[in-house]
Each structure stands twice: as C-alpha cells, then as structure tokens.
Chain A
Amino acid sequence: MSDISFVRREMLPPKDPPASEVGVVGWIRANLFSGWLNSVLTIASLYFIIRVLMGLLGWAVVPTWSATSLTECRSIFEELGRHGHNAGACWGVISERWNQLLFGFYPRELQWRPVLDFLLLGVALAPVLFSDKVPAKLIYFTAIYPFVMPWLLWGGTIWTPVAVALGFVIAYAIFKMLAEKTSELIAMIASVVVALVWWLFLASLFSSALAAVIPLALEPVESRQFGGFMLSITIGVVAIGLSLPIGIVLALGRQSDLLIVKTLCVGFIEFIRGVPLITLLFVASTLLNIFMPPGTNFDIIMRVFIMVTLFASAYMAEVIRGGLAALPKGQYEGADSLGLNYWQAQRLIIMPQALKISIPGIVSTFIGVFKDTTLVSVIGLFDPLNLTNAIRADADWNGLVWELYGFIALLFFVFCFGMSRYSMYLERKLQTGHR
C-alpha cells in the first residue's frame, strides 16, 4: 500500500515559449500586428512608406550630377525615356552651385578664412563642451576667439579687434584697482565709463595710429559678399555667443528685488518676445540707422547682428530664469548662510547649477535662432533661401525648386538634429543623480 500515488520528485525544465511568441515572429506579432487596428495601421503605413520611397528614389537617383543646365538634364531624361515636368532631379545645380550655397559671394580665394574660422570655433568651444578631454589652458583661446573671429571674416587691420579687446583689459584693470580701494559699486561704474570712453573716442585713434606704424592686415571683405550657410552660421554663433551673457544679466535682473531694475528687464523681455522676429529685422533694415547719430552708417549685417542678438537674449533670459527658478530655495539660503555676497553666490553656487539645468533650453534656443536666420532673406540678405532666387535667376537653372530646397533643408536638418542630439548627450553627462 505504499505507492498508491505518483509524486514527481524532480522539477520539469520550463518549456520553450511557443515559436510565435519569441524571436522575429514574436516581435512582429507584439509590435506590428497586436490587434486588428494595429494590423491595419501597420499595413497602411507600410504602403505609404513604400509609395513615398519609390517616388522619392525614382526621382532622386538619376545620373544628372555633371549636367550644366536644366536643358541638359531634360535631354538626359529624354534618353532615359522619362517625360514630364518632374521627370527627375537635376543635381547639376548642386554640384555647380554648392560653393555659392555655402559661402554666398565670398571671394573664392579667401574662403579658407571662414573655414579656418569655424575650425577655430570648434577649438574655442572644446573647453566648454568637452571639458574633461582637452587641456584647461585652452580656455584662454576661447577668451581670445571673439576678437579673432570677426577679423578673419571681415579682414582689415588687426589693430581694430586688438583695440576693442584692450577696452576690456583696461576696464578689468580699473575695476581691480578701484575695487580694493573703494567699493565694488564705484569700481564697476568707473570701469564701464572708462571702457565706453575708450571704445567710442580713443580706440579708433589707437588702431589707425598702430596700423600706420605696423600694417598687419588681411584683405577686407565687404558684408554684402557674405551669404549662404556661412551667413546663417555666423549670425547664429554671434547671436548666441552675445546673448548668453546678456540673457544671464536680464534673468538676474528679472529675479532681483530691485523694483526699477526688475521693471526694465521685464519690459525688455516681454517686448522682444511679444513681437515677431521679422518686425525686428524691419527695424534693423529701416529704422536702426535713424536711431543712431546722424552720419553713422553701419552696414546691414551689423544691424542684423544687433537685432538678432537682442531677440535671442530675451529668449535666453527666459530659459535661464527657468533654471534659476528650478533651483531649490535651500541653495540660495545656503549661499547666504556661508556669508557669500550676491555676486560670489551667483558665480560659485547658483549659476553653475542653474546653467546646467538650462542646457536643453539653451540648445533649443540656439536651434531656434539658427533656423530663424533664414528670415534675413526677407530683408534681402543672401542666406541660403534667398540664394535659391539668385540661382534661379540664371537662365541655365531657371525653374529649379525641389533640388535646391531639398539640399538646404537637408543641411539645416543635419545641423539642428546634431545639436539636439548633442544636448541630450550633455544632459546625460552632467546628470548628477539629483535634480
């Protein structure tokens, strides 16, 4: 009577899941055909993708790279047996004019200068972007770069940027000297006044005198020869580079307890954010010369720089204000309890954290400004979009649309997508586990 029932003593090994639930089949069932609605959607979108891809590839994959005019493209299509208005892409226009799309009317033999400039921009940004991989000394080059960049782009004597830089050195020296003897407030006011006097009255004398003695100059290039992606990138870089410090000041002003300062900052920010960029560009093209003393006539690119910078700094101020507001109150109180004064607290405690939080916003502002540089075509600057009109004005390429727009869209996409991916990487890298 001992063994009336069978009791299993050892575990059975788990069975493999059914073949339809694992591997490729399982994945497809789970992700593409998990219900009738999903199946319909999948099939519809597959059909859509195939239609678009076939149309696009059929249009784009054509041997027209070396064609020199639209008529030549058309004859190539005739040989291929294709007819109609949009028989295929005429890539000849890109191969012939890509240089113009990138540099505008910048003299061909001087184009090494903008290229070098953007390479140097990479070097100057390296200490900021990849601080752990490059020597820290490189930050000095970053400080010099803002003065090297315009000199390389516009040419002219080297002494003008040197004189401008000297203004900063003088202001800093005076601030250091006076700050020890009197209060920081007096020192700051004095240094600002001295710097303004230097830039407005003495700097031009200084640079012309030195240029006469030691003529160190590059061949000058006129602003109206700027164009293409070079122009877009230049406007974008200048606007963001200048708007970051202005934006920090505005954000601090907006957060401060000083009523008048706060009102001024809020008024400026809300005004700029409330009007479209295009109206600001109208101001640049028609009004800015009226606002300046009679006889001043600075060129259109400089005016666009000013307005785009003001535009970007209002947005930057809001991004940084968001970062400041996101910091826990304890950080401010902690800095106060350590006995740090306002600027020390900002520099050592608040700003490093607030700027880190604002990185995604800063990058997306940059992307926005970079995209918005296409608006300068409305006031007649030759950015890539306006260059397409110039190219179409050529009888050889009259009537081309898709190839040019497609090329420009692709370049913009590569730039902007790259930047947004970089900002994600930076966010992950700077993540310290708490927010």
Chain B
Amino acid sequence: MSILTDPPKESFRPSMLIYDTRYRSMTIQVIALIGFLILVGWLISNTAQNLAELGKEPSFGFLSEPAGYDINQRLLDYDNQNSHFRAALIGLLNTLLVAFLGCITATILGVIIGVLRLSSNWLIARLMTIYVEMFRNVPVLLWIVFIMAILIESLPAPRDFRGDTPEATMNVFDSVAVTNRGVYVPEPLFHNSLGNIHLFGDAAVRFDISLDLVAFLIVLGGSLFASTKIRIWADKTQEATGLRPTTWHMRSAVVILPSLLLLVLLGFHLGYPALKGFNFQGGIHMRNSLIALWLALSLYTAAFIAEIVRAGILAISKGQTEAASALGLRPKRIMNLVVLPQALRVIIPPLISNYLNLTKNSSLAIAVGYMDLTGTLMGITMNQTGRELETVMLGMLVYLTISLVISGFMNWYNNRVKLVER
C-alpha cells in the first residue's frame, strides 16, 4: 500500500523569479511598476526644474484673479471683473449646452436618416447614402468653419430688415429673426413672475434659479406622476378583467391642463425680438458661433448615428418579426415588444460613445470663437495668465470627468442589457 504524499515543497530560490512562471509574473509587474515610476519621476523633476527656471511656481491662485475679458454667449451672469474661475465655469456650461443641444438634434436627425437609408424608395435611400458618406469623410472642423462661413456670408444683415420694403423679413409669424449676427428667438416672460432665488451669494459658483421655471417643473412632474398612476391602474384593470380601459384622454388632460393653468396664472407671454438701432433687441440671442457649432456637430454626428441605427435594425433577423406576427401580435406591438428592445441593445452603446465624441468635438468651438471651456480656460485665461500647466491640466481633468461619467453610464447600461452567456 502506497501512501500519496504531496511533492516536497521546494524552497524559494532567487532564480525562480525568472524561470518559474508563478513568480515571473511578479517580476514582470515589479519591473513595469519601477519603469513607470521612473518615467513619472523623471517627467515631474524635469517639470519642476523647468518651472523653477521660468520662475513659475505651480499654483492655482490665478483662478481667483479678475478675468478681464468678456464672454458674449453665456448662461449665467458674468462680467469682465469676475474671476477666471467664473469664466471657466461659464465656458464649461457653454460646452455642456452645445453638447446637450447637439446630442438631441443629432439623435433625431440620425434616426430619421438611418431609417430612410433602409427605405424601399431608391432615390431617398441613395440621397441618404450620399449624406452619410459626405459628412463622414470630411473633417468635422472643416464642417464647422464651412457652416460658419455659410451663416456669415449668406444670411441678411440686421439692416436689411429695416425700411418699408425690407430685403429680409422675420420668420414664423414675425417672431424669429435670422441674421448674420445670430438668430433671435422669442423669450418666455411672465406678468406675475414669482422672481428668482439667488444661490451662493457672491461666490464664483453663484447662480439664479427662476421660481417660475421651478413651479412649472413641479407641476409638470406631478402631472406626469399622476399620468403614470393612471397607466398602472389601467394595467391592473386589464390584468383583472382582460379589458383595457381607454385612458388617453384622461392622461393627456392630467398632463396638459395643470401646466396650462399655471402658465395663465403666471401671466405667460413671449418677448419678441425687435429691430432697434443697428441691431435686434429683446428675445434670446443665439450667436452664429453657437449655431454653426451646433449645426455642424449635429449634422456630422447624425451621419454616424444613422449608420448605427441602420446596423441596429439590420441586426434583428427577419425571423423575429415573423415569429412575433405568428404569435398574433400587431405590427406596433411587434415593434415595441420584440424588435426595439433587441435593436436598442445593439444601438445604445455606440450611440452613447458618439455622444461622447460629440462632447469632445465641441472643444473645436475655438475655431469659430464660441467661448466654451477650451476657449475660456485653455484659451484666453491661459494666454493672459501664462499658466499653461495648470490650465491645460484642469481642462483635461474636466473633460476626463465628463467622459468618465458618460462611459460609466454606458457600462452600467451594457451590463444591464447584456445577454448572459457561458
């Protein structure tokens, strides 16, 4: 009878660090880490030495100094006596604004174009192919400056709106003025306004919240909640009795009526832009730089989104639709219950990474003079203060944060809808 014993435990010898695969991975990692640390240390020591020679100790004190430059397109109040930090914040909000607007229009356009590219109409499908190839194969920076040039060169100047027989007229019932200095749209105004709340006093992050908007959002949220309740009640009734009560009129009334009532109570009206002196006054002024950037980013990204949507629809095999209709589902329900959930799994991840690209591409605003984060913090602030290291690092950090938030969301979504495999 033999007794199985463990092989004798080898004692550790230094040569095992190289020849034994169990330990070799440790060696490799330690070497990689040391190499990395040496590289980083070398870069930091170089930087410190260079900065000391230039007499620029790294410090973020410049952020609280007065910026001294104006930002013409902004969401919060700002003047040139505000700090560089405030200017950077305005820039960041401008970046987020154009990214947000761009994502919405790019998605709408992209979905329409992607679906039309699959159209049975030969001419439409070809036109959409031309659109996609045209926008995908030309740099986005070229589109931005191109559209900016179109806006400046071909739109009427404000003075063309003057006189009894003007060369140009305002659009949409005389409410929107499209000029080569930007687009003027009506602004919402209230007769019995509730006023604003001012947050954060005099701090650099101060901002005002319109109480009218808050009240409107609260009412809208409440009515949407009530509408959801009605849907749940309808679902329950359907499960209990097999008959679904008609709810659309109740739901739309619940959503629309309270909001309308609130608007009437607040005395809602529109402030129209009007030509005064050399320029339009009143209304919301969207500058050409914003419009050009917004349009170019939307059109460019829409071409990519169109391809994603097309691929997503093509990825669902015909058998799925046929099987669903064999089960007796109606076309609308087939789309909602069978095709869309599967297509979205294919569409959403690349869609979000395109949103990310759009946000990053919005940094090209500097080419048309739109004051986004690149234009303020990494543009004028950097040139005025000479703080290259701090401004560029800070700007990169902000962009990195935006990207990581978006891609974190994408990973969360991916894990939620992922098919579980072996």
CB B133 to nearest CB in A, in angstroms, measures 6
Contact A261 B32 (CB under 8 A): yes
Check if B149 sits within 8 Å of A405, measured CB to CB: yes
Given A261-B32, A278-B363, verify A413-B123 contact (CB < 8 Å).
Answer: no
| B139 close to chain A: CB less than 8 A | yes
Query: Which residues in B have their C-beta under 8 angstroms from that of A257?
Result: 25
Min CB–CB distance A417 → chain B (angstroms): 5
- Chain B interface size, under 10 / 10 to 19 / 20 to 34 / 35 or more: 35 or more
CB<8 Å pairs between A and B, sample of 10:
A34-B121, A86-B154, A276-B361, A279-B392, A286-B392, A287-B389, A367-B137, A378-B366, A402-B149, A417-B133
Q: Check A412 against B133 for contact (C-beta < 8 Å).
A: no
Flag whether B46 is at the interface (Cβ < 8 A): yes
Whole-angstrom CA separation of A283 from B391 in the bound complex? 10
Task: Please provide the chain B residues from 18 to 56 with a CB less than 8 Å away from any CB of chain A in the complex.
Answer: 18-19, 24-25, 27-33, 36, 43, 46-47, 49-51, 53
CB < 8 Å: which of B32, B51, B396 contacts A264? B32
Within 8 Å of chain B (Cβ to Cβ): is A274? yes
- Min CB–CB distance B130 → chain A (angstroms): 10
Q: Is B124 an interface position by the 8 A CB rule? A: yes
Interface residues of B (CB under 8 A from A): 18-19, 24-25, 27-33, 36, 43, 46-47, 49-51, 53, 119-124, 127, 133-134, 136-142, 145-146, 149, 153-154, 360-361, 363-364, 366-367, 374, 378, 382, 388-389, 392, 395-396, 399-400, 403-404, 407
> Given contacts A32-B121, A260-B33, A276-B399, are A290 and B389 in contact (CB under 8 A)?
yes
Write the residues of chain A forming the contact surface with B, with a CB cutoff of 8 angstroms.
Answer: 31-32, 34, 38, 41-42, 45-46, 48-49, 85-86, 182-183, 185-186, 189, 257-261, 264, 270-271, 273-279, 282-283, 286-287, 289-294, 367, 371-372, 374-375, 377-378, 385, 401-402, 405, 408-409, 412-413, 416-417, 420
CB of A290 within 8 A of CB of B32, answer no
Q: Is the pair B124, A374 in contact by a Cβ cutoff of 8 Å?
A: no
Of B30, B31, B146, which contacts A409 at CB under 8 A?
B146
B148 to chain A, nearest CB (A): 10
CB-nearest residue of chain B to A192:
B35
> Pick the contact of A412 from B127, B138, B145, B363 — CB < 8 Å?
B138
A46 to chain B, nearest CB (A): 7
B371 to chain A, nearest CB (A): 15
A275 and B46: CB pair below 8 A?
Answer: no
Per the bound structure, the CA–CA distance linking A371 and B395 in Å amounts to 23
The interface residues of chain B lying within 8 Å CB-to-CB of A279 are 363, 374, 378, 392, 395-396, 399
Which secondary structure characterizes the binding site on chain B? Answer: helix
Please indicate the chain A residues that have their CB under 8 angstroms from the CB of B154 in the complex: 86
Chain A residues positioned under 8 Å from B363 (CB to CB): 276, 278-279
| Given pairs A41-B121, A270-B404, A274-B400, 9 additional interface contacts (CB within 8 A) | A45-B124, A86-B154, A260-B30, A274-B403, A279-B374, A290-B51, A294-B46, A409-B146, A417-B133
CB within 8 Å for A278 and B392 given contacts A183-B18, A186-B18, A405-B146: no
Q: Which residues of B contact A48 (CB under 8 A)?
A: 127
Alpha-carbon distance A413/B120, docked complex (angstroms): 27
Interface contact A291-B43, CB-CB below 8 Å: yes
A31 partner, pick from B51, B121, B392, B404, beta carbons under 8 A: B121
- Shortest C-beta distance, A140 to chain B (Å), equals 32
Task: Check B141–A375 contact: CB distance below 8 A.
Answer: yes
Find out whether the CB atom of A371 lies under 8 angstroms from the CB atom of B138: yes
Q: How far is A276 from B142 in the complex, measured between Cα atoms in Å?
A: 17
Shortest Cβ gap from A389 to chain B (Å): 10
Contact between chains at A290 and B50 (CB < 8 Å): yes
CB pair A287 B399 closer than 8 Å: no
> In this complex, what residue of A is CB-closest to B406?
A274
Report the bound CA distance from A186 to B31 in whole Å. Answer: 11
Q: Which residue of B lies closest to A43 (CB)?
A: B123
Which residues of the other chain, A, contact B133 by a CB distance below 8 angstroms?
A: 413, 417
Q: Which residues of chain A have C-beta atoms less than 8 A from B389's C-beta?
A: 287, 290
Majority-rule SS of A interface residues: helix
Distance of A160 Cα from B299 Cα, bound (Å):
47
B374 / chain A contacts, CB cutoff of 8 Å: 276, 278-279
Q: Which residue of B lies closest to A409 (CB)?
A: B138
Whether the pair A374, B139 counts as a contact (CB closer than 8 A) is yes
Knowing A257-B25, A275-B403, the reply to whether A282 touches B378 (Cβ < 8 A) is: yes
The 9 tightest CB contacts between A and B, nearest first, are A274-B403, A416-B137, A31-B122, A286-B388, A276-B360, A371-B139, A276-B363, A260-B29, A274-B400
Give the residues in chain B near A189, CB-CB below 8 Å.
Answer: 31
Minimum distance in angstroms from A59 CB to a CB of chain B: 12
B149 neighbours in A (Cβ, 8 Å): 401-402, 405
Asked if A274 and B142 make an inter-chain contact with CB atoms under 8 angstroms apart, the answer reads no
In the bound complex, do residue B124 and residue A42 qualify as a contact, i.e. CB atoms below 8 Å apart? Answer: yes
Contact of B29 among A49, A261, A277, A417 (CB under 8 A): A261
Q: Which residues of B contact A287 (CB under 8 A)?
A: 388-389, 392
Question: Are A385 and B122 in contact, CB atoms less than 8 angstroms apart?
Answer: no
B124–chain A nearest beta-carbon distance, Å: 5
A304 to B124, CA, bound (A): 42
**B residues within 8 A CB of A270?**
404, 407
Residues B121 and A42 in contact, CB atoms below 8 Å apart = yes
Contact call B47/A274, Cβ cutoff below 8 A: no
Q: Is the CB of A275 within 8 A of B360?
A: yes
The CA of A98 and the CA of B62, in the complex, are separated in Å by 46
Bound together, the chains give a CA A271 to CA B397 distance in angstroms of 9
Nearest CB in chain A: distance from B198 CB, A: 34
Contacts of A274 in B (CB 8 A): 399-400, 403-404, 407
Contact (Cβ within 8 A) A264 B120:
no
From B134, B142, B153, A374 is in contact (CB under 8 Å) with B142
Residue of B47, B141, B149, B366 with most chain A CB atoms under a 10 A cut-off: B141
Residues of A within 8 A of B153 (CB): 85-86, 401
Q: Indicate if the CB atoms of A45 and B142 lie closer than 8 Å.
A: no
Residue of B nearest to A292 (CB): B46
Minimum C-beta distance from B365 to chain A (A)? 10
CB neighbours (8 Å) of A185 from chain B are 18, 24, 27-28
Residue contact B127 to A45, C-beta cutoff 8 Å:
yes
* Cα–Cα, bound, A293→B47 (Å): 8
Contacts A278-B363, A278-B364, A278-B374 hold; do A413 and B134 have CB atoms under 8 A apart? yes
Chain B residues with CB under 8 Å of A413's CB are 133-134, 137-138
A265: nearest chain-B partner, CB-CB: B32
B56 to chain A, nearest CB (A): 9
Give the shortest distance, in Å, between A103 (CB) and chain B (any CB): 19
Q: What's the minimum C-beta distance from B344 to chain A, rounded to whole angstroms?
A: 20
Question: In angstroms, how far is the closest chain A Cβ from the Cβ of B255?
Answer: 30
Least CB distance, A211 to chain B, in whole angstroms: 29
Asked if A278 meets B366 with Cβ closer than 8 Å, knowing A273-B403, A408-B142, the reply is yes
Least distance between A380 CB and chain B CB atoms (Å): 12
Q: Are B123 and A42 in contact (CB under 8 A)?
A: yes
Q: How far is the CB of B206 from chain A (nearest CB, A)?
A: 28
B127 / chain A contacts, CB cutoff of 8 Å: 45, 48-49
Which B-chain residue is minimally distant from A260 (CB atoms)? B29
Q: Quote the shortest CB–CB distance from B225 to chain A (angstroms).
A: 36
Distance of A401 Cα from B388 Cα, bound (Å): 33
Contacting A405 at CB < 8 Å: which of B29, B32, B145, B396? B145
Q: Which chain A residues lie closer than 8 Å to B367 at the CB level?
A: 377-378
A31, closest chain B residue (CB): B122
